[in-house]
């Protein structure tokens, strides 16, 4: 899975730590998400999309 979290985070001038705090996870979780090494729960994906004012589809690129 690829993500555009870093791109959207930069748009809102948020650090990984700030985004993590807003969605209630550790900064390392955001690092793993951005590197494609962690698949988020639907709730976490939704929470991140809400904070970054985008859709889950725009934020996460799911590959088979």
pLDDT of 64 strictly over 90:
no
> CA-CA distance, 51 to 36, in Å (whole number)?
19
What pLDDT does residue 10 have? 96
Name the CATH topology of 2-61. 434 Repressor (Amino-terminal Domain) (1.10.260)
Task: Give me the mean pLDDT over the 19-26 stretch.
Answer: 98
pTM of the model: 0.91
pLDDT of 45 strictly over 80:
yes
Label residue 36 exposed, middle or buried (CB < 10 Å: 0-12, 13-18, 19+): middle
pLDDT digits (tens, 9 = 90+) for 4-17: 999 999 999 999 99
Domain ranges for the chain, please list them. Answer: 2-61
Between 64 and 32, residue with greater pLDDT: 32
């Amino acid at each position: 899975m690829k993500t555009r979290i870093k791109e959207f985070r930069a748009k809102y001038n948020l650090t990984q730590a700030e985004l993590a705090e807003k969605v209630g996870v550790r900064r390392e979780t955001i690092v793993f998400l951005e590197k494609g090494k962690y698949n988020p729960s639907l709730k976490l994906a939704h929470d991140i999309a809400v904070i970054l004012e985008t859709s889950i589809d725009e934020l996460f690129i799911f590959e088979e």
